Structure 1
Amino acid sequence: MTQSYSLDLRVRVVAFVDASHSCRAAARHFGVSDSFAIKLLPCQRPSGSPTPARQGRPPGGGMLVAYGAFLIQTVEAEPAITIPELAARLHQ
């Protein structure tokens, strides 16, 4: 998973663009890609904050949620179990 740019850098890029510079000039000045500087402004304007959006899936989802307790209990009882063996027990 990629890392987001720091909030400090985001604030400085937005301030640079707000000071009547172009997004591309801000990108050159701060050493970031043009697309980052260009995409930052529309994302920042509706919320008023350049905070990065949350990345990844929301927690608590997935196909194995219903079997989580069984899987944890099985692995704790037999730590050396392999994935194929665990899958076979799950199918039983």
Structure 2
Amino acid sequence: MTLYGGDSIVNVFSTLGNIDIDVTDIFEFQVGDGNKILFWLDDWLKNGTLAVKFPSLYALDKRKSCLLGDRWVNGVFSWAWKRKPNNSQELLEL
């Protein structure tokens, strides 16, 4: 029996997913300086993208494709809001 349906890493990952093996649990990711990780769009915390988890804040960001290194500067978050978060949902997410 063949584990995968072809010679593609995507096919291997797909097959493992079909038998309830989450490939993200197999690999360890390194964030580094954050200059290769999309802050909102990559699953760098391994529990879902921030755009999905915090949709109100994502909608406020001027640069939705910003890098983690753009947002985490010298140990503090640096934001580029269209306007300051001000409604209850935005403040809750923040």
TM-score by length of structure 1 reads 0.23
Larger Rg: 1
TM-score by length of structure 2 reads 0.23
Judging by fraction of residues, say which structure has more strand. 2
